[in-house]
Amino acid sequence: MRTDNGPRRSAPGRPAGPQPAKRQAILEAAVAVFLREGYTRASVDVIADEARVSKQTVYNHFGDKERLFIAAVEGERERVAAGFADGSPYALGPDGPGTPGPYDGGDARAALIAFGHRVLAVLLDERASALRRLVISEVARHPSLRPACAEGEPRQLVKYLAEMLGRRTDRGELSVPDPAAAAGQFVALVVQQGLHQSMYGTHPLADGEAAAICEGAADLLVRAYRP
């Protein structure tokens, strides 16, 4: 019989505290179920079954379906952004953001065009695009899901581009007084046109469409900030 008032210890062989592997399994299952069933029809029971955990484990990690959905959306954004981390085929630089990388060579226009294509690759990732459309379709009926709409531009890419514009300004190639604002404008322009012309990711952009988007944005920025 327990007589002290101290904290309970975990049962032998049972890990205590958060379990990242289970959390990730739940998020993966949640994305699959939400995309297949929609937000309203998706149930925590089905998500738990697909994740091979108990329903209570889902609640322990996320509290309720609403918070699970928001976490799943955020997880997808992180997954796509991770594709641009050091060591991936889409890495921004040899040592990650903040260091010279493949967009520091050549002239500014060519670098910006190549960077724009990279932004489109992030934006139009198939699974992330499908989840974005689901958020848009559900938020009017479920206003509590509004935090899932707070997407904005891909922050990691904006930060990297701002640093690249700053380096080109230091070299005298461009004259950008506020690199962060210019980077946000460039990425926002590519994102807006990419979403519109792909009908929110429902069909892939043709090579010519993607090139026109990236070239137009690059020309605009170079003309605006030419020394």
Would 100 be classed as within a structural domain? yes
Would 71 be classed as within a structural domain? no
pLDDT of residue 2: 37
- State whether 166 and 196 are in the same domain: yes
- State whether 52 and 159 are in the same domain: no
- State whether 82 and 56 are in the same domain: no
Query: Which range marks the domain in which residue 106 is found?
Result: 76-225
Average pLDDT taken over every residue of the chain: 83
Q: Positive or negative, the Cα torsion across 209, 211, 213, 215?
A: negative
pLDDT of residue 83: 61
Higher pLDDT, 13 or 218: 218
Would 199 be classed as within a structural domain? yes
- State whether 47 and 100 are in the same domain: no
Would 8 be classed as within a structural domain? no
**pLDDT digit string, tens, across residues 47-65:** 999 999 999 999 999 999 9
- Determine the 3-state secondary structure of 50 from DSSP: helix
Does position 105 have pLDDT exceeding 70, yes or no? yes
Does position 89 have pLDDT exceeding 50, yes or no? no
Would 126 be classed as within a structural domain? yes
Q: Helices (DSSP H) in the chain: which residue ranges?
A: 20-41, 44-51, 55-62, 65-82, 108-123, 126-139, 155-170, 179-197, 207-225
Would 174 be classed as within a structural domain? yes
- State whether 84 and 168 are in the same domain: yes
Which of 29, 63, 97 terminates a domain? The answer is 63
**CATH (domain of 166):** 1.10.357.10
With both helix axes pointing from N to C terminus, report the angle between 126-139 and 65-82 in degrees, rounded to the nearest 10: 150
- State whether 129 and 50 are in the same domain: no
**CATH (domain of 40):** 1.10.10.60
**pLDDT digit string, tens, across residues 67-83:** 999 999 888 877 876 76
Would 51 be classed as within a structural domain? yes
- State whether 91 and 41 are in the same domain: no
- State whether 57 and 81 are in the same domain: no
Percentage of residues in the chain having pLDDT higher than 70:
81
The lowest-confidence range among 5-9, 23-27, 91-95, 220-224 is 5-9
pLDDT of residue 76: 85
- State whether 55 and 141 are in the same domain: no
Does position 15 have pLDDT exceeding 80, yes or no? no
Does position 177 have pLDDT exceeding 90, yes or no? yes
Would 113 be classed as within a structural domain? yes
Q: Write down the pTM of the prediction.
A: 0.70
Any residues with CB less than 8 A from the CB of 16 and at least 6 apart, and which?
9, 10
pLDDT of residue 112: 95
Does position 16 have pLDDT exceeding 50, yes or no? no
pLDDT of residue 4: 37
- State whether 49 and 109 are in the same domain: no
- State whether 161 and 202 are in the same domain: yes
Does position 95 have pLDDT exceeding 60, yes or no? no
Number of domains in the chain: 2
Any residues with CB less than 8 A from the CB of 86 and at least 6 apart, and which?
93, 94, 95, 96
- State whether 42 and 108 are in the same domain: no
pLDDT of residue 110: 94
